[in-house]
Amino acid sequence: MTVVLTPYWSNGQQRLKAEPNPPPPPPKGFLPAAFDESVHEQRCLAQLRSKEKGIEKYIYLSQLKHADESMFYRLVLGQMNEITPLIYTPTVGDACLQHSHNFRRPEGLYISIRDKGKIGQVLRNWPRTDEARISVVTDGSRILGLGDLGVNGMPISIGKLSLYVAGAGIRPQSTVPVCLDLGTNTQKYLDDPLYLGLRQKRVSQDVMTEFMEEFMHEMTRTFPKLLVQFEDFSTDSAFLYLEKFRNRYPVFNDDIQGTGAVVLSGFINAAKLSSAASGMPLADHRILFLGSGSAGVGVGMQLMSFFRLQGLSEAEAKSRIYYVDSQGLIYDARGPMAEHKKYFSRKDYNGPAVTNLVDIIEYVKPTALLGLSTIKGAFTKEVVELMASLNPKPIIFPLSNPVRLCEVDFQDAIEWTQGRVLFASGSPYADVTYGGKRFVCRQGNNMYIFPGLGLGSILVRATSVTDGMVEASSLGLADSLTGDERKTDSIYPSLDRIREISAFIALRVIRQAQKENVDRSSDLRRLSDAELLKFVTRKMWNP
């Protein structure tokens, strides 16, 4: 129990600098005689459950995290399935939308375009720069599927980092949430008197690139042991800055690589179940994507590994993947298109534009339909029934976040396929009972990947996060299902086991980093797998 007696802005600094970890108990007299930690956990849980709305629960938890961090993480770890949707997707989406109205105290670093030229000075205000290990950085330009939220994107950085602590045991004081303020193009915020960001439109890409160069340089100078996770940048920026920095700094993009890895993992398990039912070889699966933003194309890139692992060439692998955007099927003869869409654009279709999803499915005959479109209800009854008529076990992953932008609800997908669907969504859904059987929804959300990928990269002190390490995280996740989970057609493990899963993923990531010689903790090379797993687990912080 940390008793806060310092002014709000210095609390973090005070605690981090002056107090040992864990903090000492409060002086005698501050707590009633019968106060008991474990009973207090029940009290906190009851207080949380007494709130009705998700956002109220979010605010309660956020206050608790500030007042008593250890208790906050005890609750999260004890009630993972209940609390994750409150501190993360989908509630974090509301927290972002309302950030300027609900703001109470600083919880991370806001770096604005006005800091250009002196970004290092601002970064050095962070307490204990040498302890920093992981920073989640957003520019707020594409928060979940909610669009350009400007500086209101901060809660996404905070939420991801809470999961690093809960899911991978990164120490709370080693996390640095960052939101960049480069303006916003959302007029509603520019007009809102309470909006916390600069009242200006987004700066040009050239100005942003200069800013990003200085920012990344200063981040690594200020925080010498830092891994950076880029989060929710708009599609062009997401690809641009990943490519620009990935060979110079330890950095990865969660939406391109994390989402790619989590979907590859779920797809591997789903394709096995689907092929077992249809008798079709794994190499013959055909995947149709609705949505071709950073996450959509990132997932396609990662799914190329699935076909490569079946022995297909790059051209053959690519031929198994189709994309649909707002203008329909993406194919070369259609005309000019954004750079990131070109790789998967079909060369083998020359007919008239096909825009209707049902027509496209009739043409492609996909075994898997993946949604990263942020179009609510895009997978209609007709679409889902068509998938079910083509496949004994259709793979349908509506991955758009938050839940109200999901392409199809879990219950509908189960009913429209008579329970045959292999389903994963980006946001959580409650269990569904159909035909007397209970179906558990699993989330194809990058939260299964980034904690373990980050933990492995940090422990091995990777100089960069390679494609091989991302793939290793994905295969590690796919292999982490228990026998019981496989029996129930689960394609992802239970979230309750997140720490165990993260440790296993970290082990695979460390081994791959060593293979590619991007490791700096060379002493880990001497350890056997069992010893390394023990080492990883021992490194995890516990509340």
Ligand X SMILES: O=C([O-])CC(=O)C(=O)O
Residues carrying an active site annotation: 88, 160
Partner interacting with residue 89 (select from ligand X, Mg ion, none; CB below 5-8 Å by kind)? ligand X
Do residues 149 and 189 lie in contact, with contact meaning Cβ atoms separated by under 8 Å? yes
- Residues in 87-106 that interact with ligand X by CB under 6 A: 89
Q: Which residues between 128 and 147 bind ligand X (CB under 6 A)?
A: 144
Which of residues 148 and 254 has its CB atom nearest to ligand X in the complex?
Answer: 254
Q: Does residue 254 touch ligand X according to CB under 6 A? A: yes
Contact pattern for ligand X over residues 479 through 518, marking x by CB under 6 A? ----------------------------------------
Question: Of 148, 232, 325, 409, which one interacts with ligand X (CB under 6 A)?
Answer: 232
Phi-psi region of 29 (alpha: psi -120 to 50; beta: other; left: phi over 0): left
Taking CB within 5 to 8 Å according to partner kind, which of Mg ion, ligand X, none is near residue 493?
A: none
139 lies in the site for Mg ion, by CB under 5 A? no
| Cα separation, 15 vs 510, whole angstroms | 32
Give the residue, chosen from 2, 237, 292, 445, that forms a contact with ligand X under the rule CB under 6 A: 445
> From residue 150 to residue 179, what is the string marking binding to ligand X with x (rule CB under 6 A)?
------------------------------
Three-class SS of residue 162? Answer: helix
Instruction: Identify which of residues 169 and 402 has a Cβ nearer to Mg ion in the complex.
Output: 402
The answer for residues whose C-beta is within 8 angstroms of residue 245's C-beta and 6 or more apart is 212, 216, 228, 251
Give the alpha-carbon dihedral of 349, 350, 356, 359, to 10 degrees.
-60
DSSP-based helix, strand, coil % in the chain, nearest 5 = 55, 10, 35
Could you say whether residue 405 binds ligand X (CB under 6 A)? no
- Give the shortest CB-401-to-ligand X separation in angstroms: 4
CB atoms within 10 A of CB 448: 29
Window 276 to 305, contacts with ligand X (CB under 6 A) = none
CA dihedral 226, 231, 237, 242 (to 10 degrees): 40
Q: Please, which residue, 12 or 155, has the CB nearer to ligand X? A: 155
CB of 88 to Mg ion, least distance (A): 11
Under the criterion CB under 6 A, does residue 148 sit at the interface with ligand X?
no
Q: Which residue, 312 or 403, is less far from ligand X as judged by CB?
A: 403
Which of Mg ion, ligand X, none does 148 bind, CB closer than 5 to 8 A by kind? Answer: none
* DSSP states of 101-131: HH--S--SEEEEGGGTT-HHHHHTTSS-GGG
| Nearest approach, Cβ of residue 426 and ligand X (Å) | 6
Site size toward ligand X (CB under 6 A) is: 9
Determine which helix (DSSP H) or strand (DSSP E) holds 433, and give its type and residue range.
strand 432-434
Cβ proximity to ligand X, 349 vs 492, nearer residue: 492
**Residue 181 binding target from Mg ion, ligand X, none, CB below 5 to 8 Å by type:** none
Strand-pair partners of 290? 324, 371
Based on the shown chain and the rule CB under 6 A, indicate whether residue 401 belongs to the binding site for ligand X: yes
Coil, strand or helix at 359: helix
Residue 43 token pair: 């009290």
CB contact set of 430 (below 8 Å; sequence gap of 6+): 410, 441
Binding residue for ligand X, selected from 139, 181, 255, 471, defined by CB under 6 A: 255
CB of 446 to ligand X, least distance (A): 5
Rounded CA separation 481/219 (Å):
37
The answer to whether 493 touches 424, Cβ cutoff 8 Å, is no
Contact (Cβ atoms closer than 8 angstroms) between residue 239 and residue 148: no
CB 87 within 8 A of CB 56: no
Which residues have a Cβ under 8 Å from the Cβ of 18 and sit 6 or more positions away? none
* 237 versus 445: smaller Cβ distance to ligand X: 445
Inter-residue contact 15 to 2 (CB < 8 Å): yes
Minimum distance from residue 65 beta carbon to ligand X (Å) = 18
- Please list the residues that pair with 512 across neighbouring strands: none
Question: Which of 255, 471 has the CB closer to ligand X?
Answer: 255
Nearer CB in complex with ligand X: 89/457: 89
Minimum distance from residue 506 beta carbon to ligand X (Å): 20
Q: What is the DSSP letter of 254?
A: I
**Residue 295 or 364 with smaller CB distance to ligand X:** 295
Find the residue with minimal CB distance to ligand X. 89
Minimum distance from residue 373 beta carbon to Mg ion (Å): 15
Phi, psi of 339 (to 5 degrees): -50, -45
CB of 253 to Mg ion, least distance (A): 9
The Cα-based distances of 71 to 7, 77, 324 in angstroms read: 21, 10, 46
> What is the footprint of Mg ion within residues 200-259 (CB under 5 A)?
232, 255
b/e sequence 388-403, b meaning 16+ C-beta within 10 Å: bebbebbbbbbbbbbb
Q: Which of ligand X, Mg ion, none sits in contact with 229, Cβ below 5 to 8 A by type?
A: none
When asked if residue 446 is in the footprint of ligand X (CB under 6 A), the reply is yes
In whole angstroms, the minimum distance from the beta carbon of 83 to ligand X comes to: 15
Where on the chain is the footprint of Mg ion (CB under 5 A)?
A: 232, 255
Where on the chain is the footprint of ligand X (CB under 6 A)?
A: 89, 144, 232, 254-255, 401, 426, 445-446
